[in-house]
Structure 1
Amino acid sequence: MRNCKEVTALVIAREDRDLPVIERAALRVHMVMCKACPTFERQVLTMRNAMRQWRNYTDDE
Structure 2
Amino acid sequence: MLTCKQATAAMSQAQDRKLGLRERMNLGMHLLMCRGCRAFNRQLAFLRRAGHRLAGNDGEPPK
Q: Where does residue 36 of structure 1 map in the other structure?
A: 36
Distance, in Å, in 2 between the alignment partners of 1:41 and 1:32 is: 12
Q: Where does residue 6 of structure 2 map in the other structure?
A: 6
Q: Where does residue 47 of structure 1 map in the other structure?
A: 47
Shift of 1:20: 0.6
Q: TM-score, normalised by structure 2?
A: 0.88
Shift of 1:23: 0.3
RCO (CA 8 Å, sep 6+): is it higher in 1 or 2?
Answer: 1
Q: Where does structure 1 lack aligned partners over 5 or more consecutive residues?
A: none
Q: TM-score, normalised by structure 1?
A: 0.91
Q: Where does structure 2 lack aligned partners over 5 or more consecutive residues?
A: 58-63
One-letter amino acid of the counterpart of residue 10, structure 1: A
Secondary structure, counterpart of 1:18 in structure 2: coil
Distance, in Å, in 1 between the alignment partners of 2:32 and 2:16 is: 23
- Count residues in correspondence: 57
Q: Which has the larger radius of gyration?
A: 1
Distance, in Å, in 2 between the alignment partners of 1:35 and 1:17 is: 24
Shift of 1:35: 1.0
